[in-house]
Amino acid sequence: MQWFGPTWNAPICNSQDKAATPVGWACAACGIEIKGGDRGFLIPHMDHDNTDSKPWHLRCLLNAVGVAELIAEAATKRTPAEDETHEPPPAEEPLRDEDDG
């Protein structure tokens, strides 16, 4: 798997796997054209008669695997010292059937 765009300093962002940004190609996830400066991956897709790599925006891939929110949260996480006064968010109400009770 190759990556493109400005580095986001992840371990995968090494120089030998960097690809040219596929400007003008449609993102395989959202269909929006890749623009210069976008970050993402080239991921092999198996089609009927060939295997081609298609671009995915970084954000689209993170959303697809369900970790985008975790990464965004980690990026804004406070240091332990700052967290000393941090109250945890209130627990969500458990889902219940309306017929209960």
Is residue 27 close enough to count as binding Zn ion by CB under 5 A?
yes
Binding of residue 57 to Zn ion (CB under 5 A): yes
The residues, ordered by sequence, that sit 6+ positions from 20 with a Cβ below 8 Å of its Cβ are: 4
Smallest gap from residue 12 Cβ to Zn ion (A): 18
Residue least distant from Zn ion (Cβ)? 27
Q: Which residue has 């970050």 as its token pair?
A: 39
Residues whose CB falls within 8 Å of the CB of residue 43, separated by 6 or more in sequence, listed in order:
1, 28, 53, 54, 55, 56, 61
Nearer to Zn ion, 12 or 83 (CB): 12
For the CA atoms of 51, 6, 58, 54, the dihedral, rounded to the nearest 10 degrees, stands at: -20
- Asked whether position 64 contacts Zn ion by CB under 5 A, the answer is no
Binding Zn ion (rule: CB under 5 A), the pick from 13, 19, 29, 64 is 29
| Binding interface with Zn ion (CB under 5 A) | 27, 29-30, 57, 60
